[in-house]
Structure 1
Amino acid sequence: MKLATLFDEAGHEFALVGGPVRDACLGIPAHDMDFTTSARPDETQKILDRWGETTWDIGKEFGTIGASLHGLTVEVTTYRSDEYDPSSRKPQVAFGDTLEGDLTRRDFTVNAMAVRLPTMELVDPCGGLSDIVDAILRTPIDPIISFSDDPLRIMRAARFTAQLGFDVDLGTMSAMSELAERLDIVSAERIRAELERLMISPYPRRGIEIMEYTGVAERVLPEVAALKSTVDEHGRHKDVYEHTLTVVDQAIELETDEEGPVPAPDFVLRFAALMHDVGKPATRQFGPGGKVTFHQHDIVGAKMTRKRMRELRFDKQTTKDVSRLVELHQRFHGYGEAVWSDSAVRRYVTDAGPLLERLHRLTRADCTTRNRKKAMRLQAAYDDLEKRIDELAEQEELAAVRPDLDGSQIMEILGIEPGPTVGRARKYLLDLRMEHGPLDQETAVEKLRAWAKENL
């Protein structure tokens, strides 16, 4: 590599480091190219200026200079030997002198490997290669010190468990539990970023389980941790926590390829599956004979989901989509009890809007009963609902059901100005559309005038 040669000719050490080395050992294509060097930032920038088409120094205070050439983006960081203030996870940056020292300060041994360039020498002072073979996560130094220095590493442990399918060694797991409260000093945005990466990883269930087991979920997703409280020693209803994990697994199985309606990995579907029953602990009631009910847990759960996602600084659209799926996930169950009218089917589709394909999958994933007959009955009912949706969609543009007259037409026909009355009239026409399907222009005008005569 020409870049390595430039550093070598300038008298500096240069190495590929961290994730790309780990992924190469696992046979996974590397997407990011991270390098480390003995050169100080100013020297690094001079070399990158000679090599790249563009360079940037936005991370210079932390020793990182970036550059790109022919679509290849690289980041080069000076060896570091940081110290941490116990009240903050932000390090007091200090540059180091050795590659081994730089590797030892990293989060996990599997990320603490490097390949010296251009000699291609593997440098593995912490036994990362052995841990890759054993599929284990552990820290290069005492995990108490590592997690105390940077508590976000606790979340990264859960995320790498989900991403790599590795286990966490006992000492590291114990430190996660002991220092979970240190996550309180980490910004919500950083927590959210790790949670998002965990949920779109190949094995999110593993990450969720380690979070719950270590008490991390109580700090990050207390609503999910609380599902454990619904475990019923008398067996009067299913284990909601285990049910939730199964729903996540089943929702993932229902994702599609890139050409399908819900391409994998889909964060919105997966997170809705994780949160769909969080309203149950707050709504659980025991009736006659020990019967357990969770009335309106969907509505309560949607509010809880919205609140948690706002606290974690999720964007508004993602928050809206996930909480809406939680709110709608029970809607289908009335279909299996009684045949819906065309109006009810239209409203189901309209209420789901652009989330319909995800709602299909969440609803199907929510069936975890071991009763084979019940499972087959629910499957048949949902098959029938989807068939009816398709049939109605052929007759009308069901996914975009709107009143037969728009706001401008309503104002012109009734001779009114913009205001609440237009909204009331529009709602009336939408209800008509839901109940009877599309109306022709003449009928819609006639119905609107009749409504106005009685209500205005």
Structure 2
Amino acid sequence: MSVPEQNVTTAPAAQQRAAIADLLHGVAPVADELGARFAAAGHELALVGGPVRDALLRRPTKDVDLTTDAPPERILELIDGWADAVWTIGIEFGTVGLRKNGHELEITTYRSESYDPRSRKPEVSYGTSLVEDLRRRDFAVNAMAARLPGYEFVDPFGGLADLGRKALRTPGRPEDSFGDDPLRMLRAARFASQLGFTVAPDVVEAMTAMAGRIEIVSAERVRDELSKLVSGPHPREGLALLVDTGLAAHVLPELPKLRLEIDEHHRHKDVYEHSLIVLEQAIAQEEDGPDLVLRLAALLHDIGKPRTRRFEEGGRVSFHHHEMVGAKMTRKRLTALRYPKDVVADVSRLVELHLRFHGYGSGEWTDSAVRRYVRDAGPLLSRLHKLTRADCTTRNKRKADRLRRTYDELEARIDRLAEEEELAAMRPELDGNQIQEILGIAPGPAVGKAYKFLLELRLDRGIIGPEAAAEELRRWAGEQGIGA
């Protein structure tokens, strides 16, 4: 929770130091000892960036990021024999990690970095000034530091005032900042989502003019920023910024394409606005913090509509099979963004299933259809419940109430069948060994066919008992010419 504006902008230096020291809690003795160690060797060390910002906003953070004028080789010398463990996976970018008394810290040499227009990797050069190091950072709210030991507050670019205004500016010209690292344009949208900050007009203007530069950034870095944006408390603000600046056209082009034109003859929902509302309504149902799979499914559930839109007689508009088309599009986009295979599969499956409930009508489904609904959703059933409920954005209160009551009834039927039939297991009543024994056959394709038959039998008729299942199996096998 952010502190009141006056507390952020006018807090005396002593309070700022106290807030930053309080952030460190148990790690403070380690940070102080390390700062003294660097100072004794004639080097600077400062807590920097996000941890300082979050301390002043009274937000918890797991990061302890430090910066120094010492080059990486010197950092290794200074912590040798002092740190409990050291890792150098980021040393080519000037970063050394360490563990001391159970606390993990990262120390990065003052640096500046920029992208060659033809390369995805930044060129890193080291500096000797804390202020210059802060100048090259993405935003003024991340360009504050606290020198160690003692937590002397350093804010050369007005980051503290920006915290009070909830504003996002760059330390220098935004064109220079985004030229150094185009990913910072996505970070602006991410901070709008995470912190609810307003992005300064000149920053928005630069993002719009330079949107195409994001193409040079690796898919993995884009994915990570997009995930943080979608998982933030205010994703609508961040997503709208991506769309309005043209960045979305490069990183998630399906999103701006949802802005279908609506004329006086062909009226239908604004699919883009509808998708943002569905996202917000899905978030309102979360129980244990941000659910990235649910949020992505809510955002992308209708991306098949632009491709499937048809104008029918009488001014009607149809989107036949948009859920199937959308599932394929979702799979392709998330794969291109290098999301893990399980995330790709789960989000795509939810997009594919999000319309299934609308075949339920006013309760016409048989128990067999309900079982198949559960079987097809599998472990995603809880998320499918939330997505389906979130997808109701009608302003017609009567219609909304009817849809809610109908889905309540479906969930109640699922719960009843689950209690009666162990619905979650959803397996045939006979296993492979029993199939072989009953039919007198060896392992092979015929066993798999028999298993599928028994699963369909289970879905159609529920639990009928092992003896009845065996009788049905023998009858089926006889028709198929399988077994004795």
Q: Same fold (TM over 0.5)?
A: yes
Q: Measure, in 1, the Cα distance between the counterparts of 2:44 and 2:368.
A: 71
Check whether the contact 2:97–2:105 (CA below 8 A) recurs between aligned residues: yes
Q: Measure, in 1, the Cα distance between the counterparts of 2:112 and 2:190.
A: 25
Would you say 1:142 and 2:173 are equivalent positions? yes
The residue number in structure 1 matching 2:358 is 333
Aligned pairs for 1:9-20 (under 5 A) are: 9-20=40-51
Q: Measure, in 2, the Cα distance between the counterparts of 1:234 and 1:70.
A: 69
User: Which residue, 268, 281, 291 being the options, matches 2:306?
Assistant: 281
User: Which residue, 310, 320, 331 being the options, matches 2:335?
Assistant: 310
Q: Measure, in 2, the Cα distance between the counterparts of 1:385 and 1:246.
A: 23
Aligned pairs for 1:121-200 (under 5 A) are: 121-200=152-231
Check whether the contact 1:280–1:301 (CA below 8 A) recurs between aligned residues: yes
Q: Measure, in 1, the Cα distance between the counterparts of 2:328 and 2:218.
A: 23
Aligned residues: 450
Would you say 1:363 and 2:399 are equivalent positions? no
| Structure-2 change in CA distance of 1:209 and 1:278 (3 Å) | same
The residue number in structure 1 matching 2:117 is 86
TM-score by length of 1: 0.95
Shift in Å at residue 49 of structure 1?
2.5
DSSP-derived class of the 2:79 partner: helix
User: Which residue, 124, 141, 147 being the options, matches 1:116?
Assistant: 147
DSSP-derived class of the 1:82 partner: strand
User: Which residue, 292, 316, 322 being the options, matches 2:347?
Assistant: 322
Check whether the contact 1:244–1:274 (CA below 8 A) recurs between aligned residues: yes
1:162-197 deviation per Cα after TM superposition (whole angstroms, max 9, x unaligned): 111111111111111111111111111111111111
1:9-65 deviation per Cα after TM superposition (whole angstroms, max 9, x unaligned): 111111100000111111112210000011121221122224321112222222211
AA aligned to 1:317 is D
Shift in Å at residue 83 of structure 1?
4.5
DSSP-derived class of the 1:15 partner: strand
Check whether the contact 1:53–1:69 (CA below 8 A) recurs between aligned residues: yes
Q: Measure, in 2, the Cα distance between the counterparts of 1:416 and 1:217.
A: 57
Aligned pairs for 1:338-417 (under 5 A) are: 338-417=363-442
5+ residue gaps, structure 2: 1-31
393-402 vs 225-234, greater mean Cα deviation: 225-234
149-158 vs 245-254, greater mean Cα deviation: 149-158
Aligned pairs for 1:422-441 (under 5 A) are: 422-441=447-466
Check whether the contact 1:232–1:238 (CA below 8 A) recurs between aligned residues: no
DSSP-derived class of the 1:222 partner: coil
Shift in Å at residue 445 of structure 1?
1.0
DSSP-derived class of the 2:104 partner: strand
Aligned pairs for 1:174-323 (under 5 A) are: 174-232=205-263, 234=265, 236-256=267-287, 263-323=288-348
| Structure-2 change in CA distance of 1:434 and 1:232 (3 Å) | farther
Shift in Å at residue 281 of structure 1?
0.7
46-55 vs 169-178, greater mean Cα deviation: 46-55
DSSP-derived class of the 1:115 partner: strand
Check whether the contact 2:266–2:316 (CA below 8 A) recurs between aligned residues: no
39-48 vs 25-34, greater mean Cα deviation: 39-48
DSSP-derived class of the 1:81 partner: strand
Check whether the contact 2:65–2:106 (CA below 8 A) recurs between aligned residues: yes
1:321-374 deviation per Cα after TM superposition (whole angstroms, max 9, x unaligned): 000000011011111344211111111111111001000000000000000000
Shift in Å at residue 264 of structure 1?
1.7
Q: Measure, in 1, the Cα distance between the counterparts of 2:393 and 2:291.
A: 21
User: Which residue, 46, 55, 62 being the options, matches 2:86?
Assistant: 55
DSSP-derived class of the 1:4 partner: helix
| Structure-2 change in CA distance of 1:146 and 1:7 (3 Å) | same
Would you say 1:32 and 2:63 are equivalent positions? yes
Shift in Å at residue 82 of structure 1?
3.4
Q: Measure, in 2, the Cα distance between the counterparts of 1:130 and 1:86.
A: 34
DSSP-derived class of the 2:338 partner: coil
The residue number in structure 2 matching 1:259 is none
Q: Measure, in 2, the Cα distance between the counterparts of 1:83 and 1:362.
A: 42
Shift in Å at residue 231 of structure 1?
4.1
AA aligned to 2:472 is K
| Structure-2 change in CA distance of 1:89 and 1:390 (3 Å) | same
141-150 vs 276-285, greater mean Cα deviation: 141-150
The residue number in structure 1 matching 2:4 is none
The residue number in structure 1 matching 2:470 is 445
AA aligned to 2:345 is K
DSSP-derived class of the 2:328 partner: helix
AA aligned to 1:191 is V
The residue number in structure 2 matching 1:260 is none
Shift in Å at residue 148 of structure 1?
2.0
Check whether the contact 2:266–2:315 (CA below 8 A) recurs between aligned residues: no
